[in-house]
Amino acid sequence: MNILMALSQLEVTGAEVYATTVGDELSRRGHSVCYVSDTLTKPHLGEYFKLRFNKRSIPRRFWHVGYLIYLIKKHRIQLVHAHSRASSWSCHVACKLTGTPMITTVHGRQPVHASRKKFHALGDRALAVCEAVKNQLISSLGVSPELIAIGRNGIDTSQYRPVAAPINDKPVISIIGRLTGPKGELCYRLLDECLDLDAYRVQIASGSDIPDRFERFRDKVDFLGYVQDVSGLIANSDLVIGAGRVAMEAILMQRPVFAVGEAQAPGLVTTDDLDAAMASNFGDIGPRDLDIDFTALPARIADALKADFDASGLATRVKASYDLNAVADELEQHYQSVYVHRLRREVPIIMYHRFIEDDSEKGVHGTYMHVNMLEKHFKLLKRLGHETLTFADLAEQGMASRLESGKKYIIITVDDGYKDNYELLFPLLKKYGFKAVIYMVTGEQFNRWDVENPDNPEKRVDLMSPAQIREMADSGLVEFGGHTLSHPHLNTLDKDAQRHEIAENKAQLEQLLGQKLASFAYPFGSHNQDSKALAKELDYPFAVATDSGPLAMHEDPYQIRRIAIFPRTDVFGLWRKIRGNYVFRKSK
């Protein structure tokens, strides 16, 4: 996807670190990520465009909106991700005018006033960095809970390894953060009221210029300026004071952290109070700013320097909550949901069964398609510029790859594995360069499940031979998926019987093909929670149903909705079904 990260900042901020960290991970996953901001200090992979969001006069805001519209159109931006109040306001207007999906990550407590309550400017979804932010958006600004999700800061946890305690002649306390705004006020009061500058060696890492009022501490405090090697600084510290990412990074290195931020002072972070610390982003967000008893901090800091706690267990829990890969996975989920539901378009997954050359081959059930009409379908797909995907492609490239800018993807699926798939479908796949997914029944030689149906018996149709299956798979045009041994209604079987049907079918196909299967289809579309759990347990990345499941396929990879193609689905009918909005119109 083409993603625009929007920030408003004049110096290094936690939002910038967050945006560039997750942005680089998204770039490595194949997304095209670019940035627009007043400044951008951290190294980053994507292109950067300068826009002075902090100039907030009415004419300037019109200029911001106009420039954003230009960027969205020129770079074919599919989604805008804002990270600040100033940028989100302008992005919200630009996205409304261009119809572009938008997400806002809310990094801190928001100002409360009438216009903010009326005009949230958060876009299609808000990601709160912690529970305190989410609660404030709901209680103070009236934002609908359905609009908000928790979106933790992503940290490349591999960069932060445990270190042994340093051997210092006296305790080294490191404060990491800005010297301006609320954090600057906090730092000043810590130096002035809480820290014994003779008993401790205090060092401050900050990208800010040193304000004049801090000059009085120069003789006793090491002002390090902007530090590139934050890990080295943390490693040499007996105690790290900070909030947000600073606290998380120090915990990952198993150094003691005294959490204190713009709102609260949770204090020494241990496994017992980690959840509470995370809820306030380690002190940065609370019901009001700077709600801290500074008179109690000297004793609490002294106790923290002497405390014994489970540093390893604490690091493990922080890694699980903030690991960059997990955070990027969640972010991709949000991007896909916002994009698909905002535009009401999804990659169509069409479903065929068998193909015929002559009317005498028609069946009782409407699961056949004349090969001449099939070729007309393929000609239409080719004329409209559609490219075919398989579920193996999605397993390799990620589900979000289906939304690649400038592409018109479709997934062609065919159920049961009839011999005519080899005789009639396969030549057309080769002719048009299309790929398809065939769901293969392996415990039968013909369609016994339909032939022996006492209420509505079907004519016998043979299934493909192993040699035919191998030839199609070897061509690279056909992905084979599981479809059980005998094509039962899985929801009528107990879990053990379902396991036998699904697992044995999978094992037989994987042995025949010499490769793992990427997807499974529930026969008749019939399934229950046991069926879905088994598909996941048996290591299928995806499972498809028929006309059930979420409208956006990524929202439940084990109940992916498909669009049935019937004998009377002509070219116009196919066009209606593959436009991308068919399942949305049908679900009304």
Beta-carbon contacts of residue 203 (< 8 Å; ≥ 6 apart): 172, 173, 174, 175, 221, 222, 223, 224, 233, 237
Q: What average pLDDT score do residues 476-501 get? A: 98
What ranges make up the beta strands (E) of 263-317? 267-268
Q: What is the pLDDT of residue 501?
A: 98
Six-digit token pair at 146? 């359905």
CB-CB contact of 237 with 249 (8 Å): no
The pTM (predicted TM-score) of the whole model is 0.89
pLDDT digits (tens, 9 = 90+) for 459-481: 999 999 999 999 999 999 999 99
Q: What is the pLDDT of residue 587?
A: 76
Q: What is the pLDDT of residue 363?
A: 87
Using CA atoms, how far apart are residues 150 and 153, in angstroms rounded to an integer? 10
pLDDT digits (tens, 9 = 90+) for 215-244: 999 999 999 998 888 899 999 999 999 998
Give the domains, in start order, of the chain with CATH numbers: 2-150 (3.40.50.2000), 158-321 (3.40.50.2000), 344-586 (3.20.20.370)
pLDDT digits (tens, 9 = 90+) for 1-48: 999 999 998 887 888 989 999 999 999 999 999 999 999 999 999 999
Q: What average pLDDT score do residues 368-381 get? A: 97
CB-CB contact of 418 with 436 (8 Å): no
Degrees to nearest 5, angle at CA 351 with 350 and 356: 120
pLDDT digits (tens, 9 = 90+) for 500-541: 999 999 999 999 999 999 999 999 999 999 999 999 999 999
Q: What is the pLDDT of residue 439?
A: 98
pLDDT digits (tens, 9 = 90+) for 386-416: 999 999 999 999 999 999 999 999 999 999 9
Q: What is the pLDDT of residue 379?
A: 98
Six-digit token pair at 132? 């305190």
Does the pLDDT at position 114 exceed 80? no
- What does 515-581 look like in DSSP terms, one character per residue? S---EEE-GGG---HHHHHHHHHTT-SEEE-SS-S-SSGGG-TTSB--EE--TT--HHHHHHHTSS-
Per-residue buried b or exposed e for 498-525, using 16+ beta carbons within 10 Å of the residue's own CB: bbebbbbbbebbeebbeeebbbbbbbeb
Q: What is the pLDDT of residue 289?
A: 72
CB-CB contact of 188 with 169 (8 Å): no
Mean pLDDT of the chain: 94
Q: What is the pLDDT of residue 455?
A: 86
Q: What average pLDDT score do residues 54-78 get? A: 95
Q: What is the pLDDT of residue 426?
A: 98
Does the pLDDT at position 57 exceed 80? yes
Which of 113-117, 159-163, 233-237, 450-454 tops mean pLDDT? Answer: 233-237
pLDDT digits (tens, 9 = 90+) for 291-318: 899 999 999 999 999 999 899 999 999 9
Size (the chain), residues: 588
**Distance (Å) of CA 559 to CA 210, 279, 345, 490, 533:** 57, 33, 18, 14, 11
Using CA atoms, how far apart are residues 418 and 440, in angstroms rounded to an integer? 8
What ranges make up the beta strands (E) of 361-446? 368-370, 386-389, 408-416, 436-440
Q: What average pLDDT score do residues 173-201 get? A: 93
Amino acid present at 40: L
Does the pLDDT at position 367 exceed 80? yes
Does the pLDDT at position 357 exceed 90? yes
Six-digit token pair at 202? 């205090």
Using CA atoms, how far apart are residues 443 and 230, in angstroms rounded to an integer? 60
Using CA atoms, how far apart are residues 256 and 242, in angstroms rounded to an integer? 11
Q: What average pLDDT score do residues 137-148 get? A: 92
% the chain with pLDDT above 70: 99
Residue 79's H or E segment, with its range, is: strand 79-82
Q: What average pLDDT score do residues 434-440 get? A: 98
CB-CB contact of 512 with 470 (8 Å): yes
Q: What is the pLDDT of residue 588?
A: 66
Using CA atoms, how far apart are residues 173 and 305, in angstroms rounded to an integer? 9
Does the pLDDT at position 116 exceed 80? no
pLDDT digits (tens, 9 = 90+) for 329-351: 999 999 999 999 999 999 999 99
Using CA atoms, how far apart are residues 390 and 399, in angstroms rounded to an integer? 11
